[in-house]
Amino acid sequence: MLLAPVIWALTVAIVYLFVAKTWWFPPPINQHGVAYDAQFMRTLVVVGVIFFLAQVALGYVIMKFRDDGRRATYSHGNNRLETLWTSATALLFLGLVLMGTKIWAGVHFDEAPPDAIPIEVTAKQFAWNFRYTGPDGKFGHTDLKFINDAGGNPVGLDENDPVGKDDIVSASLKIPVNRPIKLILHSRDVIHNFFVRELRMKQDIVPGMEIPLHFVANQIGIYEVPCSELCGLGHFQMRTTMQVMSQADFDEWMKQQEAQK
Amino acid sequence: MSSPAHVAHHAPQGFIRRYIFSLDHKVIGIQYYFLGLFSVFIGVSLSLLMRYHMVNPNVSVHWFEKLWPTAATGGVMTPELYLSLMTMHGTIMVFFVLTTVPQSGFGNYFLPIQIGAEDMAFPVLNMMSFWTTFLALVVMVSAFFVQGGAPLSGWTAYPPLSAAGRLTGPGEGMGQTLWIVSIAIFCGASLMGAINFIATTLDLRCKGMTLMKMPLTCWTWLVTAILGLFGFAVLLAAGVLLILDRVAGTSFFLPAGLYINDQIIANHKGGSPLLWQHLFWFFGHPEVYIAILPGMGVTSQLLSTFSRKPIFGYKAMVYAILSIGFLGFLVWGHHMFMSGMNPYSAMAFSILTMCIGVPSAIKTFNWLGTLWGGKIHFTTAMLFALGFVSLFVTGGLSGIFLGQPALDLYFHDTYFVVGHFHMIMGVAAIFGMFAGTFYWFPKMYGRMMNETLGRIHFYLTFIGVYAIFTPMHFLGIVGNPRRYADFTNVQFLGAVIPVHQFMTYAAYATASAQLIFVVNLFWSLKKGPRAEINPWHSTTLEWTVPSPPPFDNFAGVHPVVYHGPYEYSVPGAERDFIMQTDPPAVHAQA
């Protein structure tokens, strides 16, 4: 019987923590993130109400139907109730999923716009490299045999390919604000995962596959990119940043990189 | 059978045939239970070491160095050691605790008795199944002691990390090979067990025990066995392929173009890392239900018994169990929303995932319906069954977030997932085991457990698990990735270090509270007061035989069943329960 107040207290504490939002998402920096947060809140309200009602009801029956000398009622159930709560749950759960389809579609079914800046991401144990095409808009040829981490060629650029001469490789991701970006995700060893909290996006990076991911970031700032798929002993250290810059700052950064080559 | 009804079979007299290589399902059930108890001790110890390291990543501990001279030089745990503890924690808990105790432990002991059989259908297979599981455990634990230590690829062992050998990290050499060999052996053991459970349930039911008169525990053991039959068969195949990739140079899971640890991997091409994930989760999702279904069965049985009411909607419960079993094979893709698989298939998996939420909800409603209008006796067993319902609701509902690919875009691989599966597959299932222990202990050992210690243990554990696993959901909302040995590298995690500290203290306290259970268990084995045949006034067949039951369960008598399994508080009946074997006349008086 003590169990009823214990369940109620835990329920109130949990609901409070979700309302207080002491530990919460960072603000989103893209439209997808805004839609994501709306879908999360919709789900939270539905799930929260069910959680609260179910736990309170559990506490209530524990309190109310404790053994006080009565005889228990004899009942094998009620088919109408079964049908009612089965269809109600089915509708609610499926409705939530269908409401979220647009968000998923925006990330995965829609192609990146043609003017998106292509950036090739190469993940390895336990670092990131981001390759830009340079002024020619084309990626140069690469090969595993040219990889030389210590010599400054982590993606294996072919020095004999003129197209690759202007390619820029950076250990952190720099992008201009309000421009569509298309990442092409590569791994050269094991599975990694590209995750930016503020973009509300995450994608595994699988060796042998080339996975695209596109977005538009609308807030200037520096955002952390922690690897989010177990990749070995240095997984917890595999971290880089995504810096969203003004177009002018981005162009300036590009110029500097070209000059340093 | 042509033999007369009253031929009692006697146990073999030798110690080894009686207690070690026993063919008696009851002894085998107890063997599985204690194998699980040993495993859970290791599993929990590993989690405490992990929780310590997460909040004290750079503190030197003298005895760490004693235990692991190379992996904890100077007493500071290396990240690879942390990951190997994590891998072994997950593996040991999932396979050797959650899979063995509810099904192979309690199921082995009580399935035959509850359906009125003398033993399992294949006693020799049953014995082999246990000893094969034991061998798998020995091989698994031995991975700690080989060069490089235990593997660090997690209980999911995703290739290429798990397939490319020593190059991908310490523990990925011999340790990972032993891990896969152990899992393959375990699959073999589980297949033997599954066949035995299915054959026993279908063929050995006593007269009158129709399928729809079986206790819900038997239904969950049957469906769990079917899940195991299909699931472990696929995992076994996947494991063999992974071993071949590692030792025979095949390329099932390894693609071309790998460059690992400054080496070009030239001898592999054409494999797919995603293939492993599909095969693994085709087993791995049903595995969740393998862990939780028997707990649902025990909870149903106990809620009915201790509220002195028939189960609400028995048929709906059976259909819910069957549809969970069926749909359980169609939702594996929800573990792979971020894997790079075709994003259109994510939609299908997500809708199917929401569908499987429906029978789970039905079960919850029916449990509340069972309690409604009841006359609830708060025994320790009942408290754990009620705790199961609360945890099942909490752990199930967080799945509504994760089952949506759109929301998984953020939550995948965060602590939100860790919180979700620990609530439902971990602690809810473990509450089912505690409930089963307190309920069946008198039958198994002929003695009662101590109720006061039981209650203290229950409340500390119930509050404790909420304190450990609720904060994980908030860590997930902050974006805390799982499987990190140390959080100090990521700036945004600075804010959640106190949350991690709180969880670590909660884990220490909750783990300590388990000593109360251990003391209660062993003390009651020796000193508990003698149990009657039917101390809880239950209705099912195990409560018609002495505590503990004789070797052949029914001492040569063939029981005949006349009543459904949950006939409590029948109007007009003399007592507030009608045993399944009571003559029909008892009912007719009504």
Helix (H) or strand (E) holding A216: strand A211-216
DSSP-derived secondary structure for B275-325: HHHHHHHHHHHHHHHHHHHHHHHHHHHHHHHHTTSPPTTHHHHHHHHHHHH
Query: Cβ of A190 under 8 Å from any chain B Cβ?
Result: yes
- Angstrom CA distances, A56 to A18, A60, B157, B304, B460, stand at 17, 6, 40, 20, 20
User: Mutating which of B413, B473, B500, B563 best tests the A interface, going by the most A Cβ atoms within 10 A?
Assistant: B413
HEC string of B225-282 equals: HHHHHHHHHHHHHHHHHHHHHHHCCCCCCCCCCEEECCEEECCCCCCCHHHHHHHHHH
Residues 406-425 of B with CB under 8 A from A: 406-407, 409-410, 412-414
**B263-265 vs A192-196, strand pairing mode:** unpaired
For residue B378, the chain A residues in CB contact (below 8 A) are: 1, 3, 66
DSSP state of A172: S
For residue A66, the chain B residues in CB contact (below 8 A) are: 376, 378
Of A23, A96, A190, the CB nearest to B168: A190
**A180-187 vs A127-132, strand pairing mode:** unpaired
Closest CA to B408 of A101, A19, A260, A120: A101
Chains A, B: CB pairs < 8 Å: 325
Separation CA B269–CA B285 (nearest Å): 29
Amino acid at B588: A
Structural class in CATH, domain B13-253 = mainly alpha
Of A40, A90, A109, the CB nearest to B407: A40
Of A54, A65, A104, the CB nearest to B373: A65
Separation CA A233–CA A240 (nearest Å): 17
Of B259, B364, B401, the CB nearest to A144: B259
For residue A65, the chain B residues in CB contact (below 8 A) are: 307, 371-376
For residue A157, the chain B residues in CB contact (below 8 A) are: none
Closest approach of B276 to chain A, Cα-based (Å): 12
Of B314, B393, B569, the CB nearest to A72: B569
At B43 the three-state DSSP class reads: helix
pLDDT value of position B7: 58
Separation CA B446–CA B440 (nearest Å): 10
pLDDT value of position B13: 81
Separation CA A194–CA A185 (nearest Å): 8
pLDDT value of position B2: 41
pLDDT value of position B8: 65
DSSP state of A163: G
Query: Is the four-CA dihedral B284, B288, B289, B294 of positive or negative sign?
Result: positive
Closest approach of A246 to chain B, Cα-based (Å): 23
Q: Is A233–B257 a contact, with Cβ atoms under 8 angstroms apart?
A: no
pLDDT in tens, B223-241: 999 999 999 999 999 999 9
HEC string of A109-152 equals: CCCCCCCCEEEEEEEECCEEEEEECCCCCCCCCECHHHCECCCC
**A239-245 vs A192-196, strand pairing mode:** unpaired
Tokens of A177: 């604000």
Q: Is A66–B376 a contact, with Cβ atoms under 8 angstroms apart?
A: yes
Query: Cβ of A89 under 8 Å from any chain B Cβ?
Result: yes
Domain-by-domain residue ranges, chain B?
13-253, 272-528, 537-590
Of A72, A79, A203, the CB nearest to B373: A72
Tokens of B277: 């994930």
B13-253 shares its CATH topology with B272-528: yes
Q: Is B168–A147 a contact, with Cβ atoms under 8 angstroms apart?
A: no
Query: Cβ of B75 under 8 Å from any chain A Cβ?
Result: no
Amino acid at B4: P
Q: Is A67–B389 a contact, with Cβ atoms under 8 angstroms apart?
A: no
Of B256, B373, B486, the CB nearest to A236: B486
**A127-132 vs A168-170, strand pairing mode:** antiparallel
At A28 the three-state DSSP class reads: coil
pLDDT value of position B456: 98
Which residues are registered as beta bridge partners of A194? A203
Question: Is 0.95 exceeded by the ipTM?
Answer: yes
Query: Cβ of B322 under 8 Å from any chain A Cβ?
Result: no
Q: Are B122 and B223 in contact (CB under 8 A)?
A: no
Of B346, B400, B470, the CB nearest to A93: B400
pLDDT value of position B588: 47
Of A6, A50, A144, the CB nearest to B257: A144
Closest CA to B25 of B182, B199, B184: B199
Which residue's structure tokens are 């152990």?
B182
Separation CA B70–CA B64 (nearest Å): 10
Query: Cβ of A91 under 8 Å from any chain B Cβ?
Result: no
Nearest-10 crossing angle of helices B451-478, B497-527 = 160
Which residue's structure tokens are 């720099």?
A174
| Residues with Cβ within 8 Å of residue A152, at least 6 apart in sequence | none
Quickly name the fold that domain B272-528 has: Cytochrome C Oxidase; Chain A (1.20.210)
Query: Cβ of A20 under 8 Å from any chain B Cβ?
Result: no
Tokens of A63: 């309190």
* pLDDT digits (tens), chain A, 261 positions: 799 999 999 999 999 999 999 999 999 999 999 999 999 999 999 999 999 999 999 999 999 999 988 889 999 998 898 889 889 989 999 999 999 999 999 999 999 999 999 999 999 999 999 999 999 999 999 999 999 988 889 999 999 999 999 999 999 999 999 999 999 999 999 999 999 999 999 999 999 999 999 999 999 999 999 999 999 999 999 999 999 999 999 999 999 999 987
Query: Cβ of B394 under 8 Å from any chain A Cβ?
Result: yes
At B566 the three-state DSSP class reads: coil
pLDDT in tens, B467-490: 999 999 999 999 999 999 999 999
Q: Is A77–B313 a contact, with Cβ atoms under 8 angstroms apart?
A: yes
Of A17, A72, A191, the CB nearest to B158: A191
For residue A77, the chain B residues in CB contact (below 8 A) are: 310-316, 366, 369
Closest CA to B538 of B486, B485, B574, B575: B575
User: Mutating which of A25, A64, A85 best tests the B interface, going by the most B Cβ atoms within 10 A?
Assistant: A85
Q: Is B83–A89 a contact, with Cβ atoms under 8 angstroms apart?
A: no
Closest approach of A113 to chain B, Cα-based (Å): 19
Separation CA B510–CA A102 (nearest Å): 43
pLDDT value of position B5: 44
For residue A24, the chain B residues in CB contact (below 8 A) are: 474, 477-478
Separation CA A1–CA B425 (nearest Å): 26
Closest approach of A54 to chain B, Cα-based (Å): 7
- Angstrom CA distances, B332 to A206, B194, B215, B329, B500, stand at 19, 21, 29, 7, 30
Number of H helices, E strands in chain A: 4, 10
Tokens of B398: 């967080």
Amino acid at B295: G
Q: Is A65–B375 a contact, with Cβ atoms under 8 angstroms apart?
A: yes
Q: Are B480 and B500 in contact (CB under 8 A)?
A: no
Low-confidence residues in chain B, pLDDT < 70: 1-8, 586-590
pLDDT value of position B10: 76
